[in-house]
Amino acid sequence: MDRREGVVSIDYAGFVQEQIAELRRVVGDATAINALSGGVDSSVVTVLGHRALGRRLRTVFVDNGLMREGEPRQVVETFAGLGIPVELIDAREEFLSALRGLTDPEQKRQAITDAFYARVFGRLVRESGAKFLLHGTILTDIEETVAGIKRQHNILAQLGIDPQSAYGYTVLEPLKTLRKDGVRAVAGVLGLPPAVTRRIPFPGPALAARIVGEVTPQRLAVVRAATAIVEEELAGTGAFQYLAVLLGDLATGIRNDRREFGQIVVVRCIESVDARTASATRIPWETLERICSRIVAIPGVNRCLYDLTPKPPATVEYV
């Protein structure tokens, strides 16, 4: 820790060494497993884990069917480029069937949690013989969960659920003292490529956090297409996060001279430091119009809205 003129600068290189030493000490000769989502948090945990444990860490990428266009393949390729093998697990049907018929936000999150921990990942852990699970929980996840704002899917221990007896393994969370900016700094120290360090946050429940109402393959396809458009159009803004959301309502519209009852997509783009508070980005009108015209070209979508709401009172995600 370096304190000059009231500025506190954290020694992130020291943090990396400490965490690597701690992982080696705790895991000992056992094996560990971790799930990589491709986001900064789980990417940093993956690299820390591999530096600490080498081949005693098994890293999997669970394709839950809720990912963005081309995401599973891209993540596996990025880590192959870093010399870290990542196993791709196809669990799409398991997640989609767990979500079938659910519309309540917390029930959807719970279904994803259960599908991930109790079934897909639990099975992988049991098969692998690993005793430890490395997880990318950060401080903001813990604070918002404790405050009762939202149940993060990755926060079993902080909720008082004993992961050892509930799921049969011990959860290690090397990033739990950091916020998002700290995690990005650690990613820089670890030499992660900009594709990972500058990647905008993406939630654990993935596109399901951006579908109000039931998650179906058809509705996923709509939000996936809208997400690709928004990410392409807003990549140059430098905004903290940008996303597309599919609402649960339908709206009257008109296409080819006929009345159409169509789907509604919301575009959200925010400025933030750590996602605890946020304000809407002032996007040039022309950009918004271009995004709108591309989004209403997605079959079944006839309305596109831009969300101006700060956090609070809104959250970033819609579910």
Binding site for ligand XMP (CB under 6 A): 150, 152-153, 201, 203-205, 209, 241, 275, 311, 315-317
Are the CB atoms for 170 and 132 separated by under 8 Å?
A: yes
The minimum distance between CB 37 and ligand XMP, in angstroms, equals 8
Is the CB of 68 or the CB of 311 nearer to ligand XMP? 311
Ranges of beta strands (E only) in 104-231 are: 132-134, 170-172
Nearest approach in angstroms of CB 216 to ligand XMP is 20
Buried b (16+ CB within 10 A) or exposed e, 185-219: bbbebbebeeebbebbbbbbbbbbbbbbbebeeeb
- Find out whether 276 and 315 touch, Cβ atoms under 8 Å: no
Q: Which residues pair with 252 in a beta bridge?
A: 261
Question: How many helices (H) does the chain have, and how many strands (E)?
Answer: 12, 11
Three-state DSSP class for 252? strand
Q: Which is nearer to ligand XMP, 31 or 158 (CB)?
A: 158
Tokens at 269, concatenated = 């783009």
How far apart are CB 140 and ligand XMP at their closest, in Å? 7
Cβ nearer to ligand XMP, comparing 70 with 312: 312
Contact (Cβ atoms closer than 8 angstroms) between residue 111 and residue 100:
no
For residue 257, the minimal CB distance to ligand XMP (Å) is: 40
Answer for the pair 269, 287: CB distance below 8 angstroms, yes or no: no
Which CB atom, from 119 or from 311, has the smaller least distance to ligand XMP? 311
Nearest to ligand XMP of 92, 311 (CB atom): 311
- Distance in angstroms between the alpha carbons of the first and the last residue of the chain: 38
Question: Cβ of residue 254: shortest distance to ligand XMP, in angstroms?
Answer: 33
When the beta carbons of 250 and 316 are compared against ligand XMP, the nearer one is 316
Cβ 63 to ligand XMP shortest distance, Å: 17
Cβ pair 75, 38 in contact under 8 A? yes
Q: Provide the minimum distance between the beta carbon of 171 and ligand XMP in the complex, in angstroms, as a whole number.
A: 14
For ligand XMP, the closer CB: 31 or 237: 237
Kind plus residue range of the DSSP H or E element containing 196: helix 194-197
Of residues 152 and 227, the one with the C-beta less far from ligand XMP = 152
CB of 110 to ligand XMP, least distance (A): 11
Kindly write down the DSSP assignment for every residue of 114-143, as one continuous string: IIIIIIIIHHHHHHHT--EEE----HHHHH
Instruction: Extract the tokens encoding 143.
Output: 């604070």
